[in-house]
Structure 1
Amino acid sequence: MKNAWALVGLFVFALTGNAAEKQLKIRLVSDPTTFDWNRAHTDVETYVLMNIMEGLVEFDSKMKVKPLLAESWTVSEDQKTYTFKLRKDVKWSDGKALTADDFVASWQRLLAPLTAAPYAYMLYDIDGAEAYNSKKLADFSQVGIKALSPTSLQIRLRRPVAYFIQMLTFWVTFPIRQDVIDKFGPSWSQPGKVVVLGPFLPAAYKPQSEIVLKRNPLYHGTKPDLDSVLMRIINEDSTALNLFKSGGLDFVRPVNFLELSDLKTSPQLHTAPYFRTCFLNVNTSKYPLNLPKARQALSMGVDRSKIGAVLHREMTSADSLMDDTLFPAGKGTVISFDGARGAKLLKEAVGDPKALPKLELVTFATDENALLSQFIQDQL
């Protein structure tokens, strides 16, 4: 877990030339890879998709699940069958009513092999889902996803899954309109074509420049006090900060760590705990990282407790993928920093470490990642 730094300015309305418009201006660090929520897989898409779409449930301020598009749900005695009752007052942005078939269409598309959805595996606990995704099952009617009526959705799991209801807050499980996809094909999710359920709808997109969201007049929930949101696509942290200072952004995150010393006394700087775990994704198909002892040596060779100081941020070193605040750690072996032990394991795995090929570390081109990559290189 680390602290997130953000600069928040006064919301200045009427900066677009329209004196009556209330617009919030924020930053995206890059273009979204897609507006298709079945296929989306990066942090950037979060800002867009969570403002234009919704799912069956959502988290409240205390991280407890509460109903959203679902009015209620029941769970069978064996904890394997969930039946959701949908709200009847929810309409898509084109006026058509939400139905259980919209969820079935979305989850079938998410699992369809041709979709190649990065997060298809999230539905694997549903009966038959993995087999359908891996082409071992051709008949989707055999998968445990059923629309019992226009307002009733039933999900049958292959085993009890304690986290299943929490998983439904994720955007890949949000409903879709199959008729819109059939009409527009691959471009169905683009502004002007896509229909949505959230408080805003995408109005315009200029690659490498900006995304504009407009208020959805048919939104079922509390109407936003904003008319629009301008998402400016800015790769460089320093550029975003300068734009914030000049009034071109109302909110900027992250703040470049090199600027923090000058900003810590600013009343506009806000910090908050940020639940995020960063890790190295290791290619275990290549030598020597295909060897368990070599991977253990790699983990033991980096002193994670120093990373916070290197990046000038308040962080805690991670011993697991999930923070203890959310999921208390259970029993298990923690691989801690131990350079001597790591060197011994590496020698046991490969013999002479000097004969090893160079390891390549690939990361996004940011100041923070450059510093972190240099630290890891120096440690190893």
Structure 2
Amino acid sequence: MSRLNHALPFALACALALTTACSRRETLVQAGNRQGILHVGNGAEVQYLDPHIAGGQIDHNVLSALFEGLVTLDEETLQPRAGAAASWEISPEGLVYTFHLRPDAQWSNGDPLTTRDFLYSFRRALSPALASEYKDIFYPVKNAEAYAKGTLSDFSQVGFRALDATTLQIILHQPVPYFLTLLRNNVWFPVHAASVEKTGAFDDRSAKWTQTAPFVCNGPFRLREWRVNQHLVVEKNPHYWDAPHVRLNEIWFYPSESLQSQEFAFRAGQLHTTWDVPLSKLDAYRKDSPGLLRIDPIFETYFVRFNVGVPAFKDPRVRRAFALTINREAIVKNILRGGQLPATGLTPPGIAGYTPPPGHASDADEARRLLAEAGYPGGRGLPKVEFLTIPQETQQRLAEALQERWRRELGVEVVIIQKEFKMFLAAINDLSRDYTFARGKWTAEYADPLAFISLFTTGNGVNG
């Protein structure tokens, strides 16, 4: 069990004990249904509430409640729909997007939300000093990449124009069919200038502005309370432009890297929804409670990270040898069991205009030949191999499956190392690279192959 979850199981244990004693004590879900409060298991602890620094779905779940960009996505169709901008036009050649902000849009403290706020926010997100890992999502914009890399210092040359307080133009350097979808990423969210600079410079990555009250935002909810490792609570924002149609009064996000703890809390009536389902419970829900189980398609790929800073793994023959022993079909069928597909490449099937390659079948003989050719017959001479992952049932079982294949087919002993999610991210980043192999996963921000292949380009913020 992760230490991030200690507070939650204890509270659940108390609640269950009281239920036994009183026989009919109201659960959190029952109370939430009555009070308009949603209780959510949100995976690991939130790392950042700064939308220009935050990355990953866990942070995004909370940030999407607190902030709103120019557009959002329809939950059913995933097509762009109006957000802070009530409408927009696209020029015939697809290069100029003109957005019209809602005249009644406000920050959670009542300040008006204007185009100046968006220009400030875009300049901040692209600032070289802030070093946002996701700044490349701005790169379709004219001169955005040059500004982010410091080769252009004049922000007025970047393709953003405030025509007036409510009219914003964004100019691209070439047409991008999925551009509106990019605007859903939290790096495009506006931030409140006075709040940001209350604790430091606008591009000071270490500034503590998200930890000072009030936390000013522009989304349907505002921050009420954040108790690290216990819960994060957002409440309905009365200054939100569409507040009358926000049906929830509060959302409680609970951090937990233990899927078992989340599932137990769900069964006990303490959570409305969980981040994921333990593999050991998947078949039972399919059989006995299919109405409680939801499996949605997603553009996401799992892969193995090799630290090529380790000399042995600079050799492509060594990396290919390890890859050729992986039985993807067996992993999908016997471990994941959620309808996943064996990966034949980094980009998954289903993206319009993309045809996946046939891939390479598992070939242990060729793998052993390559490893021997590289100078490591039977794995002899290789440095100690550690596989870094996170303490979650699915990830542990994936790691064990790879460990066994590499031991049996290559003669290589692999040690599995588990680190809590925050420590895991710190270990794999470009500054530390404290791993040999590591679990890799990427979820696309938009439906285009570039969402995957751009990860491995020089200068990409997440290419660690």
What TM-score range do you get, normalising by the shorter chain? 0.7 to 0.9
Q: Does 1:192 align with 2:206?
A: no
Q: Could you say if the C-alpha distance between residues 242 and 93 of structure 1 is closer, same or farther in structure 2, counting changes exceeding 3 Å?
A: same
List per-residue Cα deviations over 1:92-119 (Å, max 9, x = no partner): 1111222112221111111112212111
Q: Could you say if the C-alpha distance between residues 226 and 351 of structure 1 is closer, same or farther in structure 2, counting changes exceeding 3 Å?
A: closer
Supply the RMSD in Å over aligned alpha carbons. Answer: 2.5
Quote the Cα distance in structure 2 between the aligned partners of 1:115 and 1:72: 30
Kindly indicate whether the alpha-carbon contact (under 8 Å) linking 2:295 and 2:338 is maintained by their aligned counterparts in 1: no
Q: Could you say if the C-alpha distance between residues 146 and 336 of structure 1 is closer, same or farther in structure 2, counting changes exceeding 3 Å?
A: farther
- The one-letter amino acid of 1:249's match is L
TM superposition shift of 1:210: 0.6
- The one-letter amino acid of 2:185's match is F
Q: Does 1:260 align with 2:282?
A: yes
Which residue, 175, 192, 202 being the options, matches 1:160? Answer: 175
- The one-letter amino acid of 1:201's match is R
Q: After TM superposition, list the pairs within 5 Å mapping 1:189-228 onto structure 2.
A: 189-190=210-211, 192-221=213-242, 223-228=245-250
Q: Could you say if the C-alpha distance between residues 332 and 21 of structure 1 is closer, same or farther in structure 2, counting changes exceeding 3 Å?
A: closer
DSSP 3-state at the match of 1:251:
coil
Which residue, 157, 161, 164 being the options, matches 1:146? Answer: 161
Quote the Cα distance in structure 1 between the aligned partners of 2:357 and 2:285: 41
Structure having the larger proportion of residues in helix: 2
Q: Could you say if the C-alpha distance between residues 312 and 105 of structure 1 is closer, same or farther in structure 2, counting changes exceeding 3 Å?
A: same
Which is worse superposed, 327-336 or 47-56? 327-336
Quote the Cα distance in structure 2 between the aligned partners of 1:159 and 1:289: 38
Quote the Cα distance in structure 2 between the aligned partners of 1:304 and 1:123: 35
Kindly indicate whether the alpha-carbon contact (under 8 Å) linking 1:191 and 1:203 is maintained by their aligned counterparts in 2: no
Report the TM-score when normalising by structure 2. 0.73
Kindly indicate whether the alpha-carbon contact (under 8 Å) linking 2:66 and 2:217 is maintained by their aligned counterparts in 1: yes
TM superposition shift of 1:374: 1.0
TM superposition shift of 1:135: 1.9
TM superposition shift of 1:236: 2.0
Quote the Cα distance in structure 2 between the aligned partners of 1:128 and 1:289: 37
Q: Does 1:293 align with 2:307?
A: no
Which residue, 267, 272, 282 being the options, matches 2:295? Answer: 272
Partner of 2:439: none
Kindly indicate whether the alpha-carbon contact (under 8 Å) linking 1:191 and 1:204 is maintained by their aligned counterparts in 2: no
Quote the Cα distance in structure 2 between the aligned partners of 1:331 and 1:262: 33
TM superposition shift of 1:333: 6.4
Partner of 2:51: 37
Quote the Cα distance in structure 1 between the aligned partners of 2:29 and 2:57: 26
Kindly indicate whether the alpha-carbon contact (under 8 Å) linking 2:344 and 2:358 is maintained by their aligned counterparts in 1: no
Which is worse superposed, 154-163 or 327-336? 327-336
Which is worse superposed, 199-208 or 269-278? 269-278
List per-residue Cα deviations over 1:51-95 (Å, max 9, x = no partner): 111111222222222232223333334433322222222211111
Structure number with higher relative contact order (C-alpha < 8 Å, ≥ 6 residues apart)? 1
Q: Could you say if the C-alpha distance between residues 160 and 281 of structure 1 is closer, same or farther in structure 2, counting changes exceeding 3 Å?
A: farther
Q: Does 1:338 align with 2:363?
A: yes
- The one-letter amino acid of 1:271's match is R
Report the TM-score when normalising by structure 1. 0.88
Q: Does 1:315 align with 2:340?
A: yes
Which residue, 54, 63, 66 being the options, matches 2:68? Answer: 54
Q: Could you say if the C-alpha distance between residues 274 and 354 of structure 1 is closer, same or farther in structure 2, counting changes exceeding 3 Å?
A: same
Which residue, 248, 251, 270 being the options, matches 1:248? Answer: 270
DSSP 3-state at the match of 2:400:
helix
Q: Does 1:237 align with 2:263?
A: no
- The one-letter amino acid of 1:266's match is S
TM superposition shift of 1:11: 8.1
List per-residue Cα deviations over 1:271-304 (Å, max 9, x = no partner): 2223122222332333233233333333222111
Q: After TM superposition, list the pairs within 5 Å mapping 1:114-153 onto structure 2.
A: 114-153=129-168
Identity of aligned residues (%): 29
Q: Could you say if the C-alpha distance between residues 268 and 184 of structure 1 is closer, same or farther in structure 2, counting changes exceeding 3 Å?
A: farther
DSSP 3-state at the match of 1:46:
helix
DSSP 3-state at the match of 2:147:
helix
Q: Does 1:177 align with 2:192?
A: yes
Q: Could you say if the C-alpha distance between residues 119 and 359 of structure 1 is closer, same or farther in structure 2, counting changes exceeding 3 Å?
A: same
Structure 2 gap segments, 5+ residues each: 1-26, 201-206, 407-464
Quote the Cα distance in structure 2 between the aligned partners of 1:325 and 1:268: 26
Kindly indicate whether the alpha-carbon contact (under 8 Å) linking 2:98 and 2:168 is maintained by their aligned counterparts in 1: yes
Q: Could you say if the C-alpha distance between residues 142 and 76 of structure 1 is closer, same or farther in structure 2, counting changes exceeding 3 Å?
A: same
Q: Does 1:379 align with 2:405?
A: yes
- The one-letter amino acid of 1:34's match is Y
DSSP 3-state at the match of 1:288:
helix
Quote the Cα distance in structure 1 between the aligned partners of 2:148 and 2:65: 29
- The one-letter amino acid of 1:272's match is I
Q: Could you say if the C-alpha distance between residues 244 and 273 of structure 1 is closer, same or farther in structure 2, counting changes exceeding 3 Å?
A: closer
TM superposition shift of 1:224: 2.2
Partner of 2:392: 366
Quote the Cα distance in structure 1 between the aligned partners of 2:285 and 2:269: 16
TM superposition shift of 1:172: 0.9
Kindly indicate whether the alpha-carbon contact (under 8 Å) linking 1:25 and 1:231 is maintained by their aligned counterparts in 2: yes
Q: Could you say if the C-alpha distance between residues 346 and 125 of structure 1 is closer, same or farther in structure 2, counting changes exceeding 3 Å?
A: farther
Which is worse superposed, 99-108 or 282-291? 282-291
Q: Could you say if the C-alpha distance between residues 66 and 379 of structure 1 is closer, same or farther in structure 2, counting changes exceeding 3 Å?
A: same
- The one-letter amino acid of 1:14's match is A
TM superposition shift of 1:190: 3.4
Quote the Cα distance in structure 1 between the aligned partners of 2:262 and 2:376: 49
Quote the Cα distance in structure 1 between the aligned partners of 2:34 and 2:321: 61
